[in-house]
Amino acid sequence: MSIPQDLIPEIPSIQDPALAARLQHRIDRKTKPLGSLGRLEDLMLRLGLILGSETPQLHEPQVMVFAADHGLAAHGVSAFPPEVTWQMVENFLAGGAAVSVLARQHGLTLSVVDAGVKHQFQPRAGLLIAKIAMGTADMLAGPAMTADQCSTAVAAGKTLLQKRPGNVLLLGEMGIGNTSAAALLLARLGGYALVDCVGRGTGLDDAQLRHKLDVLTRALNRHPRATDPMAALAALGGLEIAMMVGAVLQAALERRIIVVDGFITGAAVLVASRLQPAVLERCVFAHRSQETGHRLMLESLKAQPLLDLGLRLGEGSGAALAWPLLVSACQVLSEMASFDSAGVSDQH
């Protein structure tokens, strides 16, 4: 699939051995035994490298929940009917969803993006209408998106992110059927057996899971030539996933911290990282979900998540739950005394 000029920006590496050494020295000289803050120390180092500072500061964090419908949902791959997508968007906007509660609790700005929901919303605060189509097409009959729709969605994600303030993007999503799209993208781009990528999603029973696997097997076999990242995204993905790809690419270009939620947001990062590998240097992975394929998704991305709470909700809930750890990492790095400043004797 040909990619329009300037759609995929060049993402440079942020590897900086000198800064990494200064950060590590700063971490090691805190009033504690070496390495005693465990993976919080790894997080301090990562945040410092992403933001290019020995005292990284987080400001105006943005939770963006990208929503869209999926043509494949008509084949019964979800335990919930397709109209739940637009109903949950209304729930987000009314403040009643889990991510809405967590965003309020932690002072995070929450925006919901209509990337392709099969519903017409009334404009209001907190809703970003960027609808490309009324959901994707049935990928058993043809590609989920045309090449133009896919490119337009990626470009829209870039533009939306450019207009948001702050230096942290927390990714979220909503779309009945989108665990199917994520599983297909993981199988195709990660090279895994589809059966290992397909899970229960919204809570399928054993018979429903077998049906889902059958449908997805036919979908994957329908598009054998969609092997490069953009072709796979167009054939097998979703409008919300494509728009997240654009947002991730733009966030990486602007050197924002990208907090990746679960399986579906991971699929967007997988596509983006296959286009520009240095994207992964800007990512913090919030949690390991219960969705079957998420372990393989994290493996494919060489990611170590911060939390493992048995979540499988999506919508950015895991990213919001991980947020206080980022705050703590920055505060400890900036404010915890060193052996020298506190007059405490170092270990021998």
Residues counted in the chain: 348
In single-letter form, the type of residue at position 316 comes to G
Burial class (CB in 10 A: 0-12, 13-18, 19+), 40: middle
334 vs 348: CA distance, rounded Å: 25
Instruction: Provide the β-strand partners of residue 227.
Output: none
How many angstroms separate the CA atoms of 121 and 100, rounded? 18
Number of H helices, E strands in the chain: 14, 6
Which structure tokens are listed for 261?
């939620």
- Which residue, 208, 217, 160, is CA-closest to 187? 217
DSSP designation for 66: E
User: Cα(203)–Cα(109) distance, rounded to whole angstroms?
Assistant: 29
Out of 41, 173, 281, 315, which one is annotated catalytic?
Answer: 315
For 295-324, b/e burial (b = at least 16 CB within 10 A) is: ebbbebbebebbbeeebbbbbbbbbbbbbe
Angle between helices 229-236 and 239-253 (to 10 degrees): 150
Shortest CA distance to 169 belongs to which of 86, 85, 253? Answer: 253
- Catalytic residue flag (residue 83): no
CA pair distance 268, 201, nearest whole angstrom: 17
Q: Which residues are catalytic?
A: 315
